[in-house]
Amino acid sequence: MPDLRKRHFLRELDFTADEWQYLLDLSAELKAAKQQRREERRLVGRNIALVFEKTSTRTRCAFEVAAHDQGAHCTYLDPSGSQLGHKESIADTARVLGRMFDGIEYRGFAQARIAELAAHAGVPVWNGLTNEWHPTQMLADQLTMLEHTGRPLDQLAVAYLGDARYNVGNSLLVSSALMGMDVRIVAPAGFQSPAEVAEQAGRLTEASGARVTITDDLDAVSGADFIYTDVWVSMGEPKDAWAARIDALRDYQVNRALLERTGNPDVRVLHCLPAFHDLGTEVGRQVHQATGMTALEITDEVFKANAQVIFDQAENRMHTIKAVLVATLAD
């Protein structure tokens, strides 16, 4: 059994396949224990700081519920609730928080910021999301794949459609390569995985036997067990950037026709949320007004047909984050 006590959780590349599998197994064990009301509280007396430079629903709730279930206490610092990087350096903030807390979660911008936190905190630091990586999401995604197929990861194929240049695309590519999966990044030129990340994934395949495909060809979804997508636009971006991106990604929408191209009647869809599948969001209504589209990266029909998988995926953020907390903090 790998010993991850006092380890940081910053990106998938920092772990071996055995260590990653241990976290998945522990997640499944803790999930079953919670459902059966036999959970052992292993973090009683621990204090955790949640540092958020970006707002969140799933990440914040997952950390707070996971910590509470295990007997730990959380202090939430919202995007305006700390001096991080403004009136106090990241290094100094890390030293202060490390004196008061047993572990620190960070959700924010550049990976360099969380790396600096980890270098100076003296306690485990966990990545709730950065621009480049989203490792807690990947644990939840892979646990969901295991639950919905009953097959090991190295027997599964997942295809990601859309903008693959950032955290979810990077983490999906690397974590899938680490675990020996058949992973396809299907995106137009200019929206594909960064060369450095593709090279890192390629090196992982040498040990894992994974298959990595990066292409703009939609036929690459053939035979996929899972189709994965993420949002195309963000409220934090200037609206004048939306039109060009939507136009470039329009053919990569996850809809019924795309699923039919897989040739797999049992194909399932994953989405890390939030999803712009209808007009129930401000972004959705703004895009509809500008383009006439009633959905962006995924149609409402496909979203609703796969809601069980997608919301299992969301719930699993909590169980997998709990595993990370227990593995790195428990005695």
Q: In CATH terms, are 12-134+317-329 and 137-314 the same topology?
A: yes
Q: Which residue has the tokens 């903090």?
A: 329
Residues 6+ apart with CB under 8 A from 287: 233, 242, 246, 276, 293, 296
Is this model's pTM higher than 0.85 or not? yes
Quick: pLDDT tens for 193-246: 999 999 999 999 999 999 999 999 999 999 999 999 999 997 567 778 888 999
Quick: pLDDT tens for 262-312: 999 999 999 999 999 999 999 899 999 989 999 999 999 999 999 999 999
* 137-314 homologous superfamily: Aspartate/ornithine carbamoyltransferase (3.40.50.1370)
Token pair, residue 171, equals: 């983490």
Question: Is the pLDDT score of 46 beyond 90?
Answer: yes
Q: What does the DSSP assignment read for 235-292?
A: TTS-GGGHHHHHHHHGGG-B-HHHHHHTT-TT-EEEE-S---SSSSSHHHHHHHHHH-
Parse the chain into domains and list their residue ranges. Answer: 12-134+317-329, 137-314
Give the pLDDT band (50/70/90) at residue 58: very high
Q: Which fold has domain 12-134+317-329?
A: Rossmann fold (3.40.50)
